[in-house]
């Protein structure tokens, strides 16, 4: 059995809410609340969910860019959460991040060469060697060596994301957290950046945590996918298992919004509309956090939080009434004699 490159165990990141003149704590946002997962070497784990579900906080907590409140993160068997400052600096060479908005994350006053070379210089590499490495990396991400002399504002969004990827690669990491890396890009550019990510993953033997809200993109690039709702993982499976036989009602509703390739099926496709808004992570519902919006919720769901358990080999779901193969959320709703808001997918 291979050792995972990354293991996250019961990770929690809570933020105090402070109000008033004396900044008294009036509540706590449970942004990440008990996440357990792993990533194997050379694997891509997709993490999906609505905005506000905690996926970005999870990515940053893994790298301790935000300090977790509890739980552990382990990289190649070594504790990240227990590492001191010096060791953490070393570990950050191995674990990098690419942000959604490359413009905001690139210093506008520095030429691209210096932006990419900065981590090398911090780690003591001389200028000539650093410049050579940056020139080679720019080539790897589909840019020209002389682009290094220009400033971030001189590039398109897609090019800036390539620069962000080059910067993430410069210290030769093994794991990269990609936080919505293509969400801000046009669809045609998204495909180019995804192809680039797949190429560099093969060439450098990288592992990815790919955080996104676009389920089509996640299916394309991921080996396994974790679905998050209100700070928790509610389903985790191999991508084909998850997309073809979702077990959790929340996953089913998310997937109903994804276009399918078969034109006949696409014409028939109905989108499941959930009732209500995403509850506040400062005041999550009791029992199953999804019960206020779940079309098949029952009494037990309001009081008893479901554990993430294996519903079939390698397929985990946190639901008291998971859907099995050959069944669907719509069938379950009909059996219960409930209503479900279905709309023509093309209207949305």
> What is the spatial distance between Cα 177 and Cα 164, in angstroms, rounded to a whole number?
12
CA dist 178 and 190 (Å) reads 13
**288 forms part of the interface with ligand SF4 (CB under 6 A):** yes
154-173 residues in contact with ligand SF4 (CB under 6 A) are none
Q: CA angle 12-208-179, nearest 5°?
A: 60
| Residue 226 binding ligand SF4, by CB under 6 A | no
Element at 229 (helix H, strand E): strand 224-229
Q: How many residues bind ligand SF4 (CB under 6 A)?
A: 13
The residues in 316-335 that bind ligand SF4, with binding defined as CB under 6 A, are 319-321
Choose between 32 and 329: whose C-beta lies nearer to ligand SF4. Answer: 329
Element (H, E) at 14: strand 6-19
311 binding ligand SF4? (CB under 6 A): no
Does 290 bind ligand SF4 (CB under 6 A)? Our answer is yes
Report CA dihedral (314, 318, 324, 327) to the nearest 10 degrees: -140
Of 160 and 248, CB closest to ligand SF4: 248
User: In this chain, which stretch among 104-112, 118-126, 285-293, 323-331 interacts with ligand SF4, using CB under 6 A?
Assistant: 285-293
Judged by CB under 6 A, the chain residues 229 through 248 that form the site for ligand SF4 are 248
Q: Angle 112-122/127-140 helices, nearest 10 degrees?
A: 120
For helices 187-204 and 157-169, the axis angle rounded to 10 degrees is 20
Q: Is 291 in the site for ligand SF4 (CB under 6 A)?
A: yes
When binding is defined by CB under 6 A, the residue of 53, 218, 301, 345 that contacts ligand SF4 is 301
From the list 18-26, 75-83, 275-283, 293-301, the region that binds ligand SF4 by CB under 6 A is: 293-301
Query: Cα 171 to the chain's mean position, in Å?
Result: 22
Question: Is residue 294 close enough to count as binding ligand SF4 by CB under 6 A?
Answer: yes
Alpha carbon distance 285, 289 (integer Å): 5
Query: Looking at beta carbons only, is 87 or 309 nearer to ligand SF4?
Result: 309
Q: Name the site residues for ligand SF4 (rule: CB under 6 A).
A: 248-249, 288, 290-291, 294, 296-297, 301, 306, 319-321
């Amino acid at each position: 059995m291979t050792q995972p490159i990354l293991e996250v165990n019961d990770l929690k990141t809570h933020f105090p809410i402070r109000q008033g003149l004396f900044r008294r704590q009036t509540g706590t946002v449970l942004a990440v609340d008990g996440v357990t997962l792993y990533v194997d070497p050379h694997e891509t784990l997709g993490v999906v969910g609505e905005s506000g579900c905690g996926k970005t906080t999870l990515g940053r907590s893994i790298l301790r860019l935000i300090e977790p409140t509890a739980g552990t993160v382990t990289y190649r068997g070594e504790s990240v959460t227990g590492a001191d400052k010096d060791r953490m600096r070393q570990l950050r060479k191995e674990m990098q991040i690419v942000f959604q908005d490359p413009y905001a994350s690139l210093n506008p006053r520095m030429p691209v060469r210096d932006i990419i070379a900065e981590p090398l210089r911090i780690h003591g590499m001389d200028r000539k060697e650093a410049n050579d490495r940056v020139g080679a990396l720019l080539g790897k991400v589909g840019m020209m060596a002389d682009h290094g002399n220009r400033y971030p504002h001189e590039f398109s969004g897609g090019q800036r994301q390539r620069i962000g990827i080059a910067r993430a690669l410069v210290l030769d990491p093994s794991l990269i957290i990609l936080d919505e890396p293509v969400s801000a890009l046009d669809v045609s550019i998204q495909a180019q950046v995804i192809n680039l990510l797949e190429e560099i993953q093969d060439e450098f033997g990288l592992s990815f945590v790919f955080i996104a809200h676009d389920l089509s993109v996640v299916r394309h690039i991921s080996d396994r996918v974790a679905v998050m709702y209100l700070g928790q993982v509610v389903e985790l499976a191999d991508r084909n298992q998850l997309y073809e036989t979702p077990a959790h009602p929340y996953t089913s509703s998310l997937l109903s919004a994804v276009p399918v390739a078969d034109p006949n099926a696409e014409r028939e496709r109905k989108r499941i509309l959930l009732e209500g808004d995403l509850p506040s992570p400062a005041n999550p519902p009791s029992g199953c956090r999804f019960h206020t919006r779940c079309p098949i919720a029952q009494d037990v769901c309001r009081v008893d939080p479901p554990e993430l358990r294996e519903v079939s080999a390698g397929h985990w779901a946190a639901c008291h009434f998971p859907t099995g193969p050959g069944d669907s959320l719509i069938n379950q709703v009909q059996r219960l004699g409930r209503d479900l808001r279905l709309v023509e997918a093309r209207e949305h």
